[in-house]
Structure 1
Amino acid sequence: MADLKPKTVDEFIDNSPEEAQEVMIKLKKLIVDTEPNAESGISWNVPVYKYHGILAGFSLAKKHVSFGIDSLTKEMRKTLEDKGYRTGKKTIQIKFDQDIPTEELMSLVKEQAKLNEI
């Protein structure tokens, strides 16, 4: 990435390696389509979406994009791992050549939005 710190999600994506951009564009669209009232921004130097608190975000690694969300449960991690994704406590690694697990991520974003509204 360029030395200049991005001020928007689009700048972050545009300044990222080309092979990573498609995954990030799809994640951005998925988040906005799932929760249209989410506000995008850059926090901790990565794209973060907020809706009554932090909703979701993503960051760039050498060979994958890491999608972060607090509503990730053990059960959902198992489901995603069975489909070939690596997961952490609150993250899902999506390799540049992997499809986005759209259904699962939309479910997580909806759940996180509900939790944030409480």
Structure 2
Amino acid sequence: MAKTDFKNMNEYHATQPKEAQERMQAIRDVIHEVVPGVEETISYQIPCFKYLGYLIYYSAHTRHISLSYPYTPQFLAAFATELREYKVSRSAIQFPADRPLPLDLIRRIILFRKAENEAAPKKKK
């Protein structure tokens, strides 16, 4: 995918293969279900969701979909067992394209991130 100046998620999705679009839409649907009123935006030229600050990003790649955020040690510890079967860094989880998306796990990840954002001290403007 050539770098483009995406204005919204639909533009980003439209540049991806059909299967990747469907996988991203499934994640998008889960996020909206778990966090009603979540704000959609583009940040770093990838889809980003905001709820009391940055909540989560996702991006499509040839062999996987990444769910990204600078994950806290608490987050990584809470999901350590379940994430063992995926490639994980401190800021990204890769869900392979050749396996079904673990939507229940993704739902719980979003719930955890939502709770982290709700518990974070409010920033002064």
Q: Same fold by TM (over 0.5)?
A: yes
Per-residue CA shift, 1:22-75, capped at 9, x if unaligned?
Answer: 211111111111111210010000000000011111112231111114354134
Whether contact under 8 Å (1:2, 1:15) holds in the other structure is no
CA drift of 1:2 comes to 5.1
> Does 2:82 correspond to 1:74?
no
How far apart are residue 93 of structure 1 and its match? 0.6
Task: Give structure 1 stretches of 5+ with no counterpart.
Answer: none
- Displacement of 1:97 after TM fit? 2.4
The separation in 2 between residues aligned to 1:90 and 1:79, in whole angstroms, is 16
User: Would the alpha carbon gap of residues 5 and 61 (structure 1) be closer, same or farther in structure 2, given more than 3 Å must change?
Assistant: same
Deviates further, 27-36 or 12-21: 12-21
Q: Kindly report the root-mean-square deviation, in angstroms, between the aligned alpha carbons of the 2 structures.
A: 1.8
Q: Secondary structure at the match of 1:41?
A: strand
Number of aligned residue pairs: give it.
116
Structure 1 distance, partners of 2:80, 2:44, is 24
CA contact (8 A) 2:63 2:98 kept: no
Q: Secondary structure of 1:73's match?
A: helix
Aligned runs of 1:55-70 on 2, under 5 Å? 55-69=55-69, 70=71
TM-score w.r.t. length of structure 1: 0.85
Secondary structure of the structure 1 residue equivalent to 2:79? helix
Structure 2 residue aligned with 1:23 = 23
Aligned ranges 1:1-118 → 2 under 5 Å: 1=1, 4-69=4-69, 70=71, 72-81=75-84, 84-118=85-119
TM-score (norm 2): 0.81
Query: What percentage of residue pairs aligned between the two structures are identical?
Result: 27
- Which of the pair has more CA radius of gyration? 2
Q: Which amino acid aligns with 1:34?
A: V
Q: Distance in 1 between matches of 2:109 and 2:52?
A: 15
Name the aligned partner's letter for residue 33 of structure 2.
Answer: D
Structure 2 CA distance for aligned equivalents of residues 87 and 6 of structure 1: 26
Letter in 2 for 1:108: I
For residue 94 of structure 2, give the secondary structure of its aligned residue in structure 1: strand
